[in-house]
Amino acid sequence: MIEISGLTKSYGSTVVLDGIDLTVGDAQIGAVVGPSGAGKSTLARTVNLLERPTSGSIVVNGQDLASLRGADLRAARREIGTVFQSANLLRRLTAAENVALPLRHHGVPEHQVKRRVHALLDRVGMLHRARHYPSQLSGGQRQRVGIARGLALGPSVLLSDEATSGLDPETTLSITTLLRELRDDLGVTILVITHEMDVVRGLADHVARLDHGRIIEQGPVDQVVRRSDSELSRALLPLPPAVPAPAGHRTWTLRYDAATVSPFWVAEVSRDLGSDLAVLSALVEEAGRTGVGRVTVAVDGRVDAGSVERALVSRGLVPEQRPDAEAPVRAVGEAVA
Amino acid sequence: MIALLSTPWPQVPSLLGPALGETVRLVGLVMAVVVALGLPLGLLIFNTSPLGLTPHRLLHLSVSWVSNLGRSLPFLVLMAAVIPVTKLLFGTTIGFKAALLPMAIAGVAFFSRITENAVREVPRELLDVGLAGGSTRWQIVTGIQLKEAVPGLVAGFTINLVAMIEYSAIAGAIGSGGVGYLAVNYGYRRFDQNIMLACIVVLVAIVQALQFGGDRAVRALTR
């Protein structure tokens, strides 16, 4: 478990992190997302204690690590394993030697180092590449070795600092799957810092949005994705580009919880209205631990907007965007531009 | 006419052989000092810089200044300038011992910069890996910084070695002994063409061989 409270970091008069409060529970995956320049890298460097916060605390296992120095600081750093962007493996060491490095520096006896390295490489599925140098490994393989190294000293918290940036979607998926397995098998608490929303959706239990050094919005992923008025939620569930609405139709963008809404709602609402719904764009998927949907539908403009809204709401759908009342509805038969 | 003054070819090896031995001894001794002092000095210059592990402005500037001082003077001038110190240390101003001090000064200063450059090429993120993993600064310097810089250091060592062979020839002017001294004394002062030619061939061969070996080593060490 890691509890960050009131974390502030400033360089001179420039405030980069402004009172960050963030807690990731035991065996949970927390994600911090945000655009470039939001303070993500500073947050990562402060959490893994490479930078000393200006104020605030970072509590792991009941101990505040933020104010330690010297040998205590080094011991505290071992409590937080870091997986770096592009792995940062030493080029002149093999995969096994890279994983062994923190163990050797910590003074672990050589026979135990061997056993531990073997187990770690096995866990991340890289045993067959133990004697390979980083230049002989693919990006995803390097990152697996980086994860094994981050876990070498048995940290309570694993910090993943843009660990999947620059990897292709398939490799990203295999890395996030590995992180989930580690959470479940080892009970390790993971803090993921990323700018990739799709990573968060499939991975995190808890998500926070960082912007201009502050956490603007946060919450459990399965709740956040159900918020209809949240920017974070929209970013987490980006709707694909919609096809043009049929002539004379009005569009609604809706959101719904797949746990409470019937999977046949399109047909059901159409029946209720006596007019068929057209689906223009849709995203329905598993997020957090249940399903969630976002969808843009079009309804014939001759059907009263109020009854459409009532029919949708009665089926559990939450309107996110309604048709503009002022906007003229194209007459039936008019060509679609 | 001039050819009559030249050492006959059969006698060339008896002059060149011992000279070669002297060069190896002089350059070898100097290079031992160069690595022993230049390496730590270079690590100090880099690690006290703003990019290093323990930035320290004043220390950085002073060590850097000392290193620059050793590289400021043309070697011939440096050699003359340190004569009083040489006299104090070795009791003589000519010969093998007298050449050691100026060569070591120039070499250490040179190698300190070569070391600084080589470790600067090690990505900062790799030092962060050590720091974030709770390694001590000493462990990071030896286990990450130096380890990763080995190919660069070997390449720099080769350059330094070749420069020291060149300096050993300049040191021929104060009677250092060695191939350069032989070339100056016989080839230049006595117009001994055979010796001159032999010295040139030997020096070119040595430098080519060292550079070839150095390049091979760098390739083998680069992963």
ipTM comes to 0.86
Q: What is the mean pLDDT of residues B91-111?
A: 92
Task: For B44, list phi and psi in degrees, rounded to 5.
Answer: -65, -45
Tell me, yes or no, whether A212 lies in a domain: yes
Q: Is the pLDDT of residue B100 over 70?
A: yes
pLDDT at A289: 66
The answer on A159 and A293 residing in a single domain is no
> Could B147 and A93 be called an inter-chain contact, meaning their C-beta atoms sit closer than 8 Å?
yes
Q: Is the pLDDT of residue B3 over 70?
A: no
CA dist., res. A307 & res. A35, Å (int)? 40
Q: What is the mean pLDDT of residues A169-174?
A: 90
Which of A176, A198, A227 lies at the terminal end of a domain, its last residue? Answer: A227
pLDDT at A259: 87
Report residue B217 CA to chain centroid gap. 18
Range of lowest pLDDT (A42-51, A91-100, A282-291, B213-222): A282-291
The answer on A312 and A190 residing in a single domain is no
Tell me, yes or no, whether A151 lies in a domain: yes
Domain that holds residue A315: 237-321
Tell me, yes or no, whether B2 lies in a domain: no
Tell me how close the Cα of B135 comes to any Cα of chain A, in angstroms.
6
Q: Is the pLDDT of residue A326 over 60?
A: no
Q: pLDDT by residue (tens digit) across A197-214?
A: 888 888 899 999 999 999
Q: Which of A74, A106, A147, A165 to mutate to test the interface with B (most CBs of B within 10 A)?
A: A74
Q: What is the mean pLDDT of residues B155-182?
A: 90
pLDDT at B28: 95
Q: pLDDT by residue (tens digit) across A103-127?
A: 999 999 999 999 999 999 999 999 9
Domain CATH number, residue A264: 3.30.70.260
Question: What's the token pair of residue B12?
Answer: 């060339």
pLDDT at A325: 59
Tell me, yes or no, whether B175 lies in a domain: yes
Q: Which residues of A, range 87-146, sit inside 8 Å of B by Cβ?
A: 88, 90-93, 101-102, 104-106, 133-135
Structural domain total, chain A: 2
Range of lowest pLDDT (A128-137, A218-227, B207-216): A218-227
Contact A296, A282 (CB under 8 A): yes
Name the closest residue on chain A to residue B150, using Cα atoms: A92
The answer on A295 and A221 residing in a single domain is no
Q: What is the mean pLDDT of residues B175-191?
A: 86
pLDDT at B39: 97
The answer on A95 and A201 residing in a single domain is yes
User: pLDDT grade, residue A337 (50/70/90)?
Assistant: very low
Task: Give, as one character, the DSSP assignment of residue A294.
Answer: E
Tell me, yes or no, whether A335 lies in a domain: no
Q: Is the pLDDT of residue A333 over 70?
A: no
Tell me, yes or no, whether A107 lies in a domain: yes
Count how many pairs of residues, chain A against chain B, have C-beta atoms within 8 Å.
70
The answer on A182 and A55 residing in a single domain is yes
The answer on A246 and A223 residing in a single domain is no
Q: Which of A332, A278, A263, A335 is nearest to A308 (CA)?
A: A278
Name the closest residue on chain B to residue A103, using Cα atoms: B133
Q: Is the pLDDT of residue A336 over 50?
A: no
Task: For A131, list phi and psi in degrees, rounded to 5.
Answer: -95, 10
- Cα angle value B192/B196/B197 (rounded, 5°): 120
Q: What is the mean pLDDT of residues B8-14?
A: 88
pLDDT at A327: 54
Domain CATH number, residue B40: 1.10.3720.10
Tell me how close the Cα of B192 comes to any Cα of chain A, in angstroms.
50
Q: What is the mean pLDDT of residues A134-143?
A: 94
Domain that holds residue B189: 12-221
Q: Which residue has the higher pLDDT, B185 or B125?
A: B125
Give the dihedral sign, CA A280/A285/A288/A292: positive
The answer on A305 and A200 residing in a single domain is no
Q: Which of A18, A68, A16 is nearest to A42 (CA)?
A: A16
Q: Is the pLDDT of residue A264 over 80?
A: yes
pLDDT at A95: 97
Tell me, yes or no, whether A66 lies in a domain: yes
What spatial distance separates the first Cα and last Cα of chain B, rounded to whole Å?
58
How many residues does the structure list for chain A? 337
Q: Is the pLDDT of residue A135 over 70?
A: yes
The answer on A18 and A134 residing in a single domain is yes
User: pLDDT grade, residue A329 (50/70/90)?
Assistant: low
Tell me, yes or no, whether B47 lies in a domain: yes
The answer on A88 and A132 residing in a single domain is yes
Q: What is the mean pLDDT of residues A70-83?
A: 91
pLDDT at A18: 93
Tell me how close the Cα of B58 comes to any Cα of chain A, in angstroms.
22
User: pLDDT grade, residue A335 (50/70/90)?
Assistant: very low
Cα distances from A234 to residues A230, A321, B124, in angstroms, run 6, 12, 37
Q: Give the highest mean pLDDT range of A30-39, A95-104, A175-184.
A: A95-104
Structural domain total, chain B: 1
Question: What's the token pair of residue A83?
Answer: 């997986």
Tell me, yes or no, whether B116 lies in a domain: yes
Q: What is the mean pLDDT of residues A278-293?
A: 83
CA dist., res. A231 & res. A237, Å (int)? 10
**Number of helical H runs and strand E runs in chain A:** 11, 14
The answer on A268 and A144 residing in a single domain is no
Tell me, yes or no, whether A331 lies in a domain: no
pLDDT at B189: 85
Q: Is the pLDDT of residue A332 over 80?
A: no
The secondary structure element, H or E, covering residue A216 is: strand A214-220
Tell me, yes or no, whether B3 lies in a domain: no
Q: Is the pLDDT of residue A171 over 60?
A: yes
Please list, in sequence order, all residues whose beta carbon lies within 8 angstroms of the beta carbon of residue B28, skipping any fewer than 6 positions away. Answer: none
Tell me, yes or no, whether A337 lies in a domain: no
Q: Which of A200, A184, A186, A258 is nearest to A233 (CA)?
A: A200
The answer on A67 and A31 residing in a single domain is yes
Q: Which of A64, A43, A75 is nearest to A159 (CA)?
A: A43
The answer on A262 and A175 residing in a single domain is no
Tell me, yes or no, whether B124 lies in a domain: yes
Q: Which of A41, A48, A65, A101 to mutate to test the interface with B (most CBs of B within 10 A)?
A: A101
Tell me, yes or no, whether B50 lies in a domain: yes
Which of A192, A227, A262 lies at the terminal end of a domain, its last residue? Answer: A227
Tell me, yes or no, whether B23 lies in a domain: yes
Give the dihedral sign, CA A298/A304/A306/A307: negative
Domain CATH number, residue A60: 3.40.50.300
Tell me, yes or no, whether A64 lies in a domain: yes
Mean pLDDT, chain A, integer: 89
